[in-house]
Amino acid sequence: MTATFQPGTHSGRAHPDPAHPDIESLSAFAEQALSEHERSRLLAHLAVCPRCRQIVALAHQPVEEEIQLVAAAPPISSPPQPNPQHHSRPWWRNPWLVTAAPLAALAASATFVLYVHQARIERDVQLARNSAPAVTSQVESPTATPQPETGRPAPPPSLLPPSPPRVAADSKTFRTESRREFQSANPSASPEPAAAPTVMPPPAPVPPAATQTVTVASAPSTVETVQPSQDSELSRLDSSQPSPLSKSEPLRTATSRQQMQSAQQQAVQNSAHQNSAHIDGLQSVAGIATAQSEPLAAKAASSNASSAAGAAPTVSNSSFAAATAAMPRFGTFAGASGSAQSAVVDRHIHLPSNRPAASVASAEPLMLSLDSAGALFLSRDSGSTWQPITAQWTGRAVLVRVVLISSFPAPAAAAEAKSVPGAASAHPPTFFEVLNDQNQIWRSTDGVTWLAK
Partner 1 sequence: MASSESAVTSVAAAGTSGVAAAQICAVPASAPLPVPDPALLADLWRASGSASWGLAEPECDRILIEAGTAANYGLAPGAPATAHQQSAFFRALCLADLVLARACADGSQTAWRHFIETYRQPLLRAAIAITGSDSLGRDLADQLYADLYGLATREGVRRSPLASYRGRGSLIAWLRTTLAQRHVDRYRRTHREIPLDGVEPRASDPPQTFPAKLSLLEQSVESALRLQGGEDRFLLAAYFLDGQTLLQIARTLAVHEATVSRRLQRATVEIRAQILKNLMQCGLSRRAAEETLTADPRDLDINLKKLLQHSQSHSFHGQADS
Task: Indicate the pairing of strand 366-371 with strand 376-379.
Answer: antiparallel
Q: Which is nearer to partner 1, 40 or 118 (CB)?
A: 40
Is 105 one of the binding residues for partner 1 (CB under 8 A)? no
Question: For the chain, what is the radius of gyration of the CA atoms?
Answer: 39
Least distance in angstroms from the C-beta of 1 to partner 1: 8
Stretch that binds partner 1, among 57-65, 149-157, 214-222, 233-241 (CB under 8 A): 57-65
CA distance 330 to 218: 9
Is 25 one of the binding residues for partner 1 (CB under 8 A)? yes
Least distance in angstroms from the C-beta of 75 to partner 1: 3
Stretch that binds partner 1, among 84-92, 120-128, 261-269, 328-336 (CB under 8 A): 84-92
Q: Hey, what amino acid is at 403?
A: V
Do the Cβ atoms of 145 and 163 come closer than 8 Å?
yes
Is 14 one of the binding residues for partner 1 (CB under 8 A)? yes
Is 97 one of the binding residues for partner 1 (CB under 8 A)? no
CA distance 263 to 37: 88
Count of residues of this chain found to bind partner 1 when the rule CB under 8 A is applied? 70
CA distance 329 to 323: 10
For partner 1, the binding residue among 21, 142, 352, 356 (CB under 8 A) is 21
Is 82 one of the binding residues for partner 1 (CB under 8 A)? yes
Do the Cβ atoms of 334 and 200 come closer than 8 Å?
no
Stretch that binds partner 1, among 60-68, 197-205, 279-287, 311-319 (CB under 8 A): 60-68
Stretch that binds partner 1, among 16-24, 120-128, 253-261, 384-392 (CB under 8 A): 16-24
Residues in the chain: 453
CA-CA-CA-CA dihedral for 263, 264, 270, 275, to nearest 10: 110
Q: Which is nearer to partner 1, 18 or 146 (CB)?
A: 18
CA distance 307 to 313: 11
- How many Cα atoms are found within 13 Å in the side-chain-facing hemisphere of 341? 16
Q: Which residues bind partner 1 (CB under 8 A)?
A: 2, 4-8, 10-14, 16, 18-28, 30-35, 37-38, 40-41, 43-51, 53-63, 65-66, 69-70, 73-78, 81-87
